[in-house]
Amino acid sequence: MPSPASGEDGGDQDLTADGAPGRPRRSVERLRIVLAFGGLVLIGLGAGATGVVVPYQITDYGVSKVVVGLLFFAFSGGYVLSGAANGGLIRWLGTRGQLTLGAGVYLATALGIGLHPSFPVLLGASLALGFGTGILDSGLNAYVATLPGRTALLNYLHAFFGVGALLGPLLAAEIVDHRHLPWQDTYLVLAAVSVPLVVGFALVYPSRADAVPDHEAHHGAPLTLALRRPEVWVAATFLALYVGVEVTVGNWGYSLLTLGQGQEGLLASRVVSGYWLGLTLGRFTLNAAAARAGVSLARMMYGCLFGVIAAVLLTWWAPNAALGALGFALMGFFLGPMFPTTIAVTPLLLPSRLVATAIGLLVGASVVGGAVFPWLAGALAQGLGLRTLLPYLLVLGILQTAGWWTIVRRLRADAAVPPAVPAGSAGPV
């Protein structure tokens, strides 16, 4: 079995002067990264399209908003299950098998939804779709976290989720609004997009998991061990808070602007789009800027956290709509690097054999946060009004800052917080 340094199965490796297997060919490395980016675009497409098709699902099935909300809980449940299974799937199937399984489940489920099943079947399909999506999300994060320059690559990886999330509503609107096709045709398009990913993962990614060092091989199941580590719980709580903020702004921002502040709908939609655009740009640019300035990951993250708090205050107290829109864009911009950077430092928190399992748990916890905190925001808005949204976000931002401080303290127990390094550069990340 290959060493952890190579992580390959031999067929796509170069050979060193003495005939020993070395790193995979650069073209193979690049193709794997392109496929990883494509996987996050697919996940973003699905996430962005969902909001557009929901009203059509309500009309088609004749169900209430409460009942259709069960689809979101089913999807989240599948995501959480995939997070718990991620480490085991990588050990049993290897990276290639795990990602091919995830993309295959996504493809089969999207095709099934495209056939317009009954609502109970759609509910089960949403669970399966969440499971497949979660496998892809966790597996791609775990793989990219093993690469040189992982901090920059993870930021780019999640930036491509933002690209997909920007395109998803446009795709769904084109199908249901402009072409007047059935809502389920959106899932047929998503299935078609997933086909090259299934093929690419099966042909290009390493077929076997990294070897487990002998001194770590008999210390218990990684899932059980990961759940016993306080570092996992701290990082999981941080990401649950992060995704709670991200999704709360994305889901409730339009309602705040239109119903709470009386803005016109088209303007409000552009402001929310600016938020998602800011998130994407933050992931493309902030880590690279920190690297050029020689700023450590810890300080970059503190800067982002304080930036989010300042942006919330700007939006809250803005005297006019233009400054409020800027606040939304800045919230997205400074939120951008938080998720990928947390994944990037996970290998510095835990033994190597627990990293893939921990990343799966972190992704699962983030989905729980993305369900619970927006729901709580809605409950507060229902009882106290939509203007509670911004002070609520301020509290979550402060809790995030405390969470990152706790993570940094635990990083210092084993390793110095590394600098933010651009992708492809030498040295630790």
Q: What is the pLDDT along the chain (429 residues), one digit of tens a residue?
A: 333 333 334 344 433 333 334 456 788 889 999 999 999 999 989 987 887 787 788 889 998 866 877 888 888 889 888 877 877 888 888 899 999 999 999 999 999 999 999 999 999 999 999 999 999 998 999 899 888 888 889 989 999 988 888 888 888 888 887 888 999 999 999 999 999 999 999 999 987 654 444 344 444 467 788 888 898 999 999 999 999 998 888 777 877 887 788 877 677 777 877 888 899 899 999 988 998 998 888 899 999 999 999 999 999 998 788 898 999 999 999 999 999 999 888 888 888 888 888 888 898 888 888 888 888 888 888 788 888 899 999 999 999 999 999 999 887 444 444 444 444 443 333
Give the position of tokens 């008999």.
218
pLDDT of res. 24: 63
> ∠276-277-282 over CA atoms, to 5°?
100
Contact 47/186 with Cβ under 8 angstroms? Answer: no
324: Cβ–Cβ under 8 A, 6 or more apart, which residues? 257, 261, 271, 314, 315, 318
Other Cβ atoms within 10 Å of 245 Cβ, number: 25
Tokens of 252: 């409730």
Q: What's the DSSP call for residue 259? A: I
Cα 148 versus chain centre, distance: 20
Contact 151/340 with Cβ under 8 angstroms? Answer: yes
Q: What's the DSSP call for residue 429? A: -
Best CA proximity match to 155, nearest among 46, 28, 45, 286? 286
79: Cβ–Cβ under 8 A, 6 or more apart, which residues? 130, 131, 133, 134, 137, 363, 364, 367
Cα 379 versus chain centre, distance: 25
Question: Which three-class secondary structure state does DSSP give residue 255?
Answer: helix
Q: How far is CA 79 from CA 85, 132, 299, in A?
A: 10, 8, 31
Measure the CA–CA gap between 255 and 378, rounded to whole angstroms: 10
> ∠74-79-85 over CA atoms, to 5°?
130
Best CA proximity match to 136, nearest among 49, 40, 29? 40
Measure the CA–CA gap between 420 and 344, rounded to whole angstroms: 10
Dihedral pair phi/psi, residue 419, rounded to 5°: -75, 160
Q: In sequence order, what DSSP letters do the residues of 188-224 get, joined into one string?
A: HHHHHHHHHHHHHHHHHS-SSPPPPPGGGTTS--HHH
Q: How far is CA 28 from CA 11, 33, 35, 266, in A?
A: 11, 9, 11, 44
pLDDT of res. 63: 87
306: Cβ–Cβ under 8 A, 6 or more apart, which residues? 401
pLDDT of res. 196: 97
Which domains can be identified in the chain, with CATH numbers? 22-210 (1.20.1250.20), 220-421 (1.20.1250.20)
